[in-house]
Homo-oligomer: A and B are copies of this chain.
Amino acid sequence: MSQNHPRNPVNNCPSATFLRISPHKQQAILDAAITEFAAYGYHQASINRLVNNLGIAKGSIFQYFGSKQGLFEHVFAQAKEIVSEHLRFTREHTRDKDFFARLSTIVTSGLAFVREHPGVYRMYMHVLRDEHLPGRAAYLFEVRAASRAYLTGLVDQGLSNNELDPKLSREWAVFFLDALLDRFFQAMSESDQEETLQDIPPGPDQEHIQALIRFIRKGLGQWGSHMSALPPANLTYSCPKAGKKRN
Whether the Cβ atoms of A171 and B183 lie closer than 8 Å is no
Complex Cα gap A171–B211 (Å): 11
CB distance from A121 to the nearest CB of B (A): 14
Q: Are A211 and B184 in contact (CB under 8 A)?
A: no
In the complex where A43-B43, A132-B44, A218-B218 touch, is A165 in contact with B239 (Cβ < 8 A)? Answer: no
Number of interface residues of A (CB under 8 A): 65
Q: Are A220 and B217 in contact (CB under 8 A)?
A: yes
Give the chain B neighbours of A177 by CB distance below 8 A: 220
- A173: chain B residues at CB < 8 Å are 220
Answer whether A219 and B222 are a contact pair too, CB < 8 Å, given A172-B200, A183-B179: no
Select the stretch in A10-18, A88-96, A109-117, A201-209 that faces chain B. Answer: A201-209
Q: Least Cβ distance of A125 to chain B in Å?
A: 8
Copies of this protein in the complex: 2
Q: Which of A165, A171, A218 neighbours the largest number of chain B CB atoms within 10 Å of its CB?
A: A218
Contact with B along A218-247 (1 / 0, CB 8 A): 111111011100000001111111011010
A217 to B187, CA, bound (A): 23
CA distance A219 to B165 in the complex (A): 8
A29-37, A52-60, A69-77, A156-164: which lies at the interface: A156-164
Let me know if B220 and A237 touch, CB within 8 A. no
In whole Å, how far is A196's beta carbon from the nearest beta carbon of chain B? 6
Contact B239 A207 (CB under 8 A): yes
A169 contacts B by Cβ under 8 Å: yes
Q: Is A85 an interface residue (CB 8 A)?
A: no
Chain B residue nearest to A202 (CB atoms) is B243
Residues of B within 8 A of A180 (CB): 176, 179-180
The 3 closest A-B pairs by CB, nearest first: A201-B239, A179-B183, A219-B219
List 17 interface pairs A-B (beta carbons < 8 Å), by A numbering: A162-B225, A168-B214, A171-B200, A173-B220, A175-B200, A176-B215, A178-B183, A179-B182, A179-B183, A179-B198, A201-B239, A202-B239, A202-B243, A207-B236, A217-B220, A217-B221, A218-B219
Given A100-B221, A128-B197, A219-B219, output 5 extra A-B contacts at Cβ < 8 Å.
Answer: A164-B220, A169-B201, A171-B199, A172-B200, A202-B244
